[in-house]
Amino acid sequence: MTESLLLPLAQTGVFELLAPTPPGWGGNLLRGFINSMGIGMGAFALGLLIGTGGAYGKLYGGAVLRDLLKVYTTLIRAVPELVLVLLIFFAVPDVINRTLDTLGYRPIDVSGLVAGIAALGLVQGAYATEVLRGAILAVPQGQIEAGRAFGMTPTMLMRRITLPAMLPFAIPGLANLWLVATKNTALLAVVGFNELTLETRQAAGATKAYFTFFMAAGVLYLLLTLISNIFIGRVEHWARRGLPPIAESR
């Protein structure tokens, strides 16, 4: 029975299929993995940037800005990522090129990488805004007031007090966002961007070894998550230095 179960796998030769050099498709998977990582990191960074601005805007901005940010975070978080990715992936190059066209410039090539980062980054930004806003609110207000009383400028206050003090509160949420970012890159397969999931599908389609390749890609994603978790643990430990340890069961 086990022999017959393993037969289809053995027939195709798992290791030959996954070899990193041409007769094997391992190289393609790795290239897709690197593309996924690039998009994930870019989107996460863009999300952090939007999130920091958004959080400050929501806390200290004027009434109009706050309402606009509220609309942004609510809308983005209520619509499926796939739909947003499709909308942004087509709309961003379209809008850019139409603007350039009306201004009399030649259309530029918005690569799939840039459009992908823009699409996922805008989604990440909405979540990051909420995470960072919560983290800033969790900083004891007395610390910020004390900073002001010392005559710190707003930038210095942010650099010296708010950012380091909010970090321990922000890291769990941000870590979760990073993991979401890496997994969301798979959605770009649907718009034809060559990230890990699409490369996997192409390899599987060419060799008919669907099971082998999807499993291999799953292992790659899982490794990324597990390695990230170790790294996140270290960062959290570093950010929480000097704070009392959290009890194991909440």
> For residue 188, which of 127, 128, 117 has the smallest C-alpha distance?
117
Contacts of other proteins in 47-106 (CB under 8 A): 59-60, 63-64, 67-68, 71, 75, 77-84, 86-87, 89-91, 93-94, 97
The secondary structure of residue 160, as a DSSP letter, is I
The set of residues, in sequence order, having a beta carbon less than 8 Å from that of 112 and lying 6+ positions away, is 188, 191, 192, 193, 194
How many secondary structure helices (H) and strands (E) does the chain include?
11, 0
d(CA 145, CA 8): 68
Contacts of other proteins in 149-178 (CB under 8 A): 149
Tell me the number of residues near other proteins by CB under 8 A: 79
Among 22, 104, 244, 245, which residue interacts with other proteins (rule: CB under 8 A)?
A: 22
The least distance separating other proteins from the CB of residue 77, rounded to whole angstroms, comes to 8
Among 13, 34, 137, 150, which residue interacts with other proteins (rule: CB under 8 A)?
A: 137
Contacts of other proteins in 199-238 (CB under 8 A): 200-206, 208-211, 214-215, 217-218, 221-222, 224-226
The least distance separating other proteins from the CB of residue 85, rounded to whole angstroms, comes to 10
The least distance separating other proteins from the CB of residue 61, rounded to whole angstroms, comes to 9
Based on CB atoms, which residue is closest to other proteins, 144 or 167?
A: 144
* Residue 110 contacts residue 93 (beta carbons within 8 Å): yes
The least distance separating other proteins from the CB of residue 135, rounded to whole angstroms, comes to 14
Give the type of residue at 75: L
Angle at the Cα of 129 from the Cα atoms of 191 and 92, rounded to 5 degrees: 30
The least distance separating other proteins from the CB of residue 197, rounded to whole angstroms, comes to 6
Based on CB atoms, which residue is closest to other proteins, 49 or 186?
A: 186
Based on CB atoms, which residue is closest to other proteins, 71 or 156?
A: 71
The least distance separating other proteins from the CB of residue 82, rounded to whole angstroms, comes to 5
Among 167, 186, 232, 239, which residue interacts with other proteins (rule: CB under 8 A)?
A: 186
* Residue 94 contacts residue 110 (beta carbons within 8 Å): no
Based on CB atoms, which residue is closest to other proteins, 9 or 45?
A: 9
Among 34, 99, 145, 153, which residue interacts with other proteins (rule: CB under 8 A)?
A: 145
Longest dimension (CA), the chain: 77
The least distance separating other proteins from the CB of residue 81, rounded to whole angstroms, comes to 6
What are the C-alpha distances in Å from 152 to residues 37, 56, 138, 149?
A: 39, 17, 20, 7
What are the C-alpha distances in Å from 126 to residues 28, 117, 132, 182?
A: 33, 14, 10, 16
d(CA 162, CA 149): 14
